[in-house]
Structure 1
Amino acid sequence: METFNNENDQVDALKRFFAENGKALAVGVILGIGALVGWRYWTSHQQDTARDASLAYEKATSALKSNTPEVLSGAEKFAADNKNTYGAFASLELAQHFVEQNDLPNAEKQLQQGLAAASDDNLKSVISMRLARVQLQMKQADAALKTLDSIKGEGWTAIVADLRGEILLSKGDKQGAVRRGKLA
């Protein structure tokens, strides 16, 4: 470390430092400010996008009770356009609506669409369970069994075994249904 005899030596050392490192310091400050502004913009953009998606989901699903073709097509468009959790939830809402209307083919279509949009394993399991139940109601026992095979996780074992027993019973396999019932 340098020792300075007087104030002029200190000023000269400071001038030398800035002459040697001034450009690097200026670039560093500019990059730091740019990174900070960019980061704040990005987080603000993400929040705005999430808020817009939430509002669009609420608008699309809250009007489903009216059962008008315009509302249904709007909700279906929202579910198809949003390949995220909101799209999966909208597909679940639409599937429930179609089941209540006894329109099982459209319910199955919505559940398959929701399954494709979901990224969370638990959400995929819930959708798969509902899809298997719809397929069972449509007398598609083999498809329902195949859907159940896609459900992973120990927490679903009892529910899957119970539903598998129902499906096997609908196929006339009483022994298989009893075995699955004992697992549940």
Structure 2
Amino acid sequence: MAYDLEEQEQLENLKAWWRQYGNALTWALIIALLAFAGWNGWKYWERKQAGEAAVLYEQVLKAAEARDVERVKRAATDLEGKFGRTAYGQMSALVAGRVLYDAGDLSAAKSQLQWAIDHGDEAYSHLARVRLAGVLLDEKAYDQGLALLKEEPPAAFVALYADRRGDLLAAQDKRDDARTAYRKALDKLGQAESAMRQIIQFKLDALGTA
């Protein structure tokens, strides 16, 4: 009998607890399930976006390989407009920028590289800065190019920034500053990057001794 009373008391306690906390627990469970469903939906959407972006990126690469400038422009603009948040959109801008630069369309090349700077993740953005500074070098817009590279970048891009600064400074006949920039680039480059080291050393030697 005592056992039955104890069970009944526990049951009453459970009912009281459920009256107090049951609704909150139910809502917490519902929210958790909705969050889980939302996360799965988001991952599906991401995969779908990446798949469609990959198809368009392939079109950009094929157009680039064929040197079809107009098709590169259309495909890159389409990809960046629809899937600009994906890595494919950012890579597309860099590819298009290179093709357009090689074709002599500097204005369009600059637009693509600026898009990559504005919308790209850190790595793509810094690479686009270096490339855009190179286009500005060709246009003799030296101060604009240097302004793009005025901030110290992450370690992986220090050598690229310094090398491009050296190019811009050398073009302005600021030989001492250019030497300093090239030496910094050499200092930050790994020994394994022998080809780039040789190019920078050649540019440094071309400036003559201080």
Same fold judged by TM-score > 0.5?
A: yes
Please tell me the root mean square deviation across aligned C-alpha atoms, in Å.
3.2
CA deviations on 1:24-70 (whole Å, 9 max, x unpaired) are 36555545544433333333233323333333333344333331634
Alignment-derived partner of residue 96 in structure 1: 98
91, 109, 114: which one pairs with 1:107?
109
SS in 2 for 1:77: helix
1:3-42 residue CA offsets vs partner (Å, 9 max, x unmatched)? 9634x97478548745862753655554554443333333
Q: Distance in 2 between matches of 1:157 and 1:115?
A: 17
Aligned mates of 1:151, 1:99 — CA distance in 2 = 26
Q: Which has the higher contact order (CA 8 A, sep 6+)?
A: 1
What's the % identity of the aligned pairs?
A: 23
Q: What CA distance in whole angstroms lies between the structure 1 residues aligned with 2:168 and 2:26?
A: 71
Q: How does 1:14-163 map to 2 (within 5 A)?
A: 14=11, 17-18=14-15, 21=18, 24=23, 27=27, 30-66=30-66, 67=68, 69-84=70-85, 85-120=87-122, 122-163=123-164
- What secondary structure does 2:104 align onto? coil
Taking structure 1 as the reference length, the TM-score comes to 0.75
Aligned pair count?
180
Query: Which letter does structure 2 place at the counterpart of 1:89?
Result: M
Any gaps of 5 or more consecutive residues in structure 2? 186-210
Give unpaired runs (5+ residues) of structure 1: none
Residues 76, 89 of structure 2: 8 Å contact kept: no
CA change 1:101–1:16 in 2 (3 A) is: same
